[in-house]
Structure 1
């Protein structure tokens, strides 16, 4: 096995950014040495100059939809987009594929569909739905990383929501074997009482998913987690008014974690044009003041990680012909753009690429339980994103690698061009294009 050395004046490690030479053998980082350290005899040396060497991003919230809705997205296209954007590991959500990942037989179908097609490493979440309580432990033993549930209709009939008693029963079952429940946290009663006005006005759609829906759902989840000593993760938080409750729960030792998404950190309700359904997601993009509070919560550690919630569909399902937010599929296509989008806003607010790596690589790796991922450090997988942080580009949907050319970031100028991505010491993407055949592996959780 030939050794590889990646040398850069800017390597982001868990201790911060510094000049370094990263040595790799057999797909694993063996050492992080001084920038001018002599390379091992016979090693291939790649000098990255002043481009930044980051740990490959881990995106633990990706809807690949394959099989069953491959016209929305597929393993080949999704992982190509991920690799082009510096993401080297994704964890696939249990919906909107058919079948959903709610039994071990369905997990087998997912794995068979993905095998040989993935450019990045791919793991799988299981699903918690009415009636599959007996399936949770077998799925856990089969290697899923945790279990997703909804508190309100998911948007697809084959993945129904759980009632509060069903959530409590699922948590009790998961606690018996150390499982994690990840939750789409919006309260159906609050949304049912909000004004529901279809049409093109974004303000009407925003009013239909008020912050109180997230706040009330989070309150109930925290209470369950405290009662059962259960592990809860709040998905795609957009409501800043839920943050004090989450911070207090963490101080009290409740086992709750929370993520937010690039679109909540970089897009605001004030700038969403009426009829622009590519901006629709649930929960919704909220106002600028709310966004400021999310950034503060990232800075102080209340929010644990940033992941894409890449939830694509066909262009037809986005109802672009009518611009009706009520009729459009809810989801932002952003898998390739998350790093650049977050860095563009992070640098404006005084944050560093070390912060971004903590939020988008180390944080999701810790959430999913991926000890080999998330850091440039000896013993970790040699997964890297090489970025020119000062280069800019304008987003052209036609040049993105996900299947359907639509995104809320179209036309935006972003900082941070991903020059290359590496998976276990092999270059898998260069300047937005994948290189060679799919090299990714299907991951199974290593549960204690």
Structure 2
């Protein structure tokens, strides 16, 4: 296939990074009706106003229209699970670096998790502090989850009214000060025997067996069935929990689940001794387990794929100790989500429309943004990713825009290079360059309040 070079754009006017675009033309637009073909996406005031077939394309007359040839155009990626450490720990990862990395990865909206900032987003005042810290720093749009901890029940309704889409809580210790686990029911603790060599990954893996994840999933499923309040399971790493989710759904539970790029791209057999930058919770499991997660995605038993991006510790002693039991848990991955997924998914028969479902539409619904984001249709925000699914590249430190460069993916050969990203019709990233001024929105949801506070977002 003859394709236009991904380093050039054609159009009647020069389009600078940071400027507004009035139309995008491509021979490979991912349409709502499960087709892929030529189309012109017309944009006005940050919204998609029309999608025109090629026969209706008018001759450009100076508008900021760009023609990307055979590059793929689809809705911008929505990542509903990103940890930003600001306010309080911006040396690890703040809004500027996170949202630049998102833009470079074709991600147009992220949803920030509540626990790794200081203070955690468990009160209305903490949410206000988060919004103030983010103001004027975001290159893409950002939504904000609230958090549930013991004793903050009175804060939940005010946070919902302020615009958080839901809440996150934990059923085990978090290791984060001021963000304690929420215990749905008391269970006796059981000691787990582990190996003595803490530099071996299997030692850490033994401390987080599949049974822990299965029991937690069963607790969530039972509560979801009892109260019929939507619950979402993050960080699904164990395929052994999948039958519980499937059974709960069949019995009427409004339960959804996500897995992460880390569990789909990495396996425990390949983690080197002392490689603590592979550590995440729940842990990366065996190759056979990974294949079962991919199969679950194909049959829609898993609803979406997120990054769960977490900056590693800045403390060199932590990063270089090689001790899996003491090291900070977190994998840097946000920017690489689309190519990581596509590199493995394309050989398994996944399509561009599967990407849209798993990484755009379903995350939009989860984040209560489906009325404006996640699909290409008139009236929706003009959030677009333009990318080359055939282009291969190697992950190197100079390509990574996260503040933290240490990641298990260094040296990976990936397929699917992001060329440009538009947020609400504005070109925020193109070919290695960012808009000079961050203009991302801080997203607060509008809703009719329920008669009672919903159960936690898990």
What is the TM-score when the length of structure 2 is the normalising length?
0.90
CA distance in 2, matches of 1:147, 1:403: 27
Deviations 1:299-353 (A, max 9, x none): 1111111111001133436833221111111111101000110010001212112
CA distance in 1, matches of 2:21, 2:354: 29
For 1:46, the equivalent position in structure 2 comes to 66
For 1:264, the equivalent position in structure 2 comes to 263
Native 8 Å contact 1:194 1:210 kept in 2: no
Native 8 Å contact 2:279 2:329 kept in 1: yes
Q: CA offset at residue 194 of structure 1?
A: 4.8
Deviations 1:354-407 (A, max 9, x none): 211211111111111102110111111000111100111111134311111111
Could you list the runs of 5+ residues in structure 1 that have no partner in the other structure?
167-186
SS of the residue corresponding to residue 150 of structure 1 reads coil
> Residue 164 of structure 1 is aligned with which of 168, 171, 184?
184
Deviations 1:195-251 (A, max 9, x none): 364511111111111111111100011101111112211001000011111111111
Compared CA separation, residues 427 and 365, structure 1 to 2 (3 A): same
For 2:10, the equivalent position in structure 1 comes to none
Q: Does 1:305 align with 2:277?
A: no
What is the TM-score when the length of structure 1 is the normalising length?
0.92
How many pairs were matched up? 427
Q: Does 1:29 align with 2:28?
A: no
Q: Does 1:295 align with 2:313?
A: no
1:59-208 to 2 correspondences below 5 Å: 59-165=79-185, 189=189, 192-195=191-194, 197=196, 199-208=198-207
CA distance in 1, matches of 2:20, 2:395: 38
Q: CA offset at residue 155 of structure 1?
A: 1.7
Native 8 Å contact 1:196 1:208 kept in 2: no
For 1:433, the equivalent position in structure 2 comes to 433
Deviations 1:134-168 (A, max 9, x none): 110111001011101011111211111111249xx
Q: CA offset at residue 36 of structure 1?
A: 3.9
Compared CA separation, residues 386 and 188, structure 1 to 2 (3 A): farther
SS of the residue corresponding to residue 172 of structure 2 reads coil
Native 8 Å contact 1:198 1:325 kept in 2: no
CA distance in 1, matches of 2:304, 2:280: 19
For 2:417, the equivalent position in structure 1 comes to 417
CA distance in 2, matches of 1:116, 1:36: 41
Compared CA separation, residues 134 and 202, structure 1 to 2 (3 A): same
Compared CA separation, residues 419 and 288, structure 1 to 2 (3 A): same
SS of the residue corresponding to residue 67 of structure 1 reads coil
Compared CA separation, residues 110 and 40, structure 1 to 2 (3 A): farther
Compared CA separation, residues 128 and 228, structure 1 to 2 (3 A): same
Native 8 Å contact 2:204 2:324 kept in 1: yes
For 1:249, the equivalent position in structure 2 comes to 248
Native 8 Å contact 2:150 2:182 kept in 1: yes
Compared CA separation, residues 376 and 318, structure 1 to 2 (3 A): farther
Q: CA offset at residue 41 of structure 1?
A: 6.8
Q: CA offset at residue 56 of structure 1?
A: 0.5
CA distance in 2, matches of 1:433, 1:375: 25
CA distance in 2, matches of 1:393, 1:135: 46
